[in-house]
């Protein structure tokens, strides 16, 4: 029997289904007949929409992962979550400062971190979540922005955190503060923004919109790339 023909039994919200052994949780859900209208986005990319909780056969531990990446196993129990309920602090980026006091005011819960590293273990992107939280606690916004750069805000770190920290929202604030106040100014970027505002590229954009997929792909790969 080929690998494609093999089946495993999984349980979705308590109901058993036989699905192909090579399926991800996402494709297994659809194979079982579920029509996914929420909790699904890019499909096998990194949008963070398909956060899922599951237990594997014989293991009492509650696991977390992205349904588009996690392959099913026999006896797996699955429960998708539509979103991670976590409040985001409201602030005006123009009226706050890039220092530790900003995080004490807007995300004081950061300082409850117990250093258990559960957040890092839960991250499907292998981001050093605990390390950037510790960086924020020490006031190192640049380091936190760098370590959290690849965050897709799936919420799995916050979901597993015993201190109930909303790590990804604090990381977003760090990256915004770094971009506005700390990152070195780029003359080339400023010039390009000015050109865009002046409409310099409107005709080229209109041309691209009119291209079919093949022509657009060909144009993309033939473009001039600045390497220095």
- Return the closest-CA partner of residue 6 out of 16, 18, 24, 15: 18
**Count of Cβ atoms closer than 10 Å to residue 74 Cβ:** 14
Q: Are 55 and 61 in contact (CB under 8 A)?
A: yes
Question: What is the average pLDDT score of the chain?
Answer: 89
Any idea what the CATH number is for the domain that residue 17 is in? 3.10.20.30
Number of compact structural domains in the chain: 3
What confidence tens digit (pLDDT) does each residue in 73-93 have?
999 999 877 667 678 899 999
User: Mean of the pLDDT values across residues 10-14?
Assistant: 89
| pLDDT class of 1 with cuts at 50, 70, 90 | very low
User: Mean of the pLDDT values across residues 118-123?
Assistant: 93
User: Mean of the pLDDT values across residues 161-176?
Assistant: 95
Both 18 and 41 in a single domain? yes
Query: How far apart, in whole angstroms, are the C-alpha atoms of residue 127 and residue 85?
Result: 21
The last residue of a domain, from among 25, 51, 80: 80
Any idea what the CATH number is for the domain that residue 157 is in? 1.10.1060.10
Both 57 and 133 in a single domain? no
Both 73 and 120 in a single domain? no
Both 149 and 201 in a single domain? no
Query: How far apart, in whole angstroms, are the C-alpha atoms of residue 213 and residue 47?
Result: 23
Structural domain contains residue 86:
no
Predicted confidence (pLDDT) at residue 62 exceeds the cutoff of 70: yes
Range of the domain at 142: 93-182
Both 65 and 118 in a single domain? no
């Amino acid at each position: 029997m080929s690998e494609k023909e093999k089946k495993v039994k999984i349980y979705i919200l308590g109901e058993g289904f036989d699905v192909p052994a090579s399926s991800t949780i996402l494709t297994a859900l659809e194979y079982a007949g579920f029509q996914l209208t929420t909790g699904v986005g890019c499909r096998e990319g990194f949008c963070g929409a398909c956060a899922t909780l599951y237990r594997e056969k014989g293991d009492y531990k509650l696991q977390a992962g992205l349904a588009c990446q996690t392959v099913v196993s026999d006896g797996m129990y699955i429960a998708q979550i539509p979103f991670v309920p976590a409040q985001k602090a409201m602030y005006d980026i123009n009226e706050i400062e890039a220092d530790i006091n900003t995080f004490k005011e807007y995300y004081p819960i950061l300082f409850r971190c117990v250093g258990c590293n559960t957040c890092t273990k839960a991250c499907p992107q292998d981001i050093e979540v605990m390390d950037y939280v510790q960086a924020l606690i020490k006031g190192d916004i640049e380091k936190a922005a760098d370590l959290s750069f690849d965050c897709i805000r799936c919420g799995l770190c916050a979901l597993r955190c015993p201190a109930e920290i909303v790590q990804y929202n604090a990381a977003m604030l760090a990256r915004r503060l770094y971009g506005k106040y700390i990152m070195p100014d780029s003359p080339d970027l400023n010039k390009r923004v000015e050109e865009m505002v002046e409409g310099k590229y409107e005709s080229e954009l209109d041309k691209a919109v009119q291209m079919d997929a093949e022509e657009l792909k060909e144009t993309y790969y033939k473009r001039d790339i600045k390497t220095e």
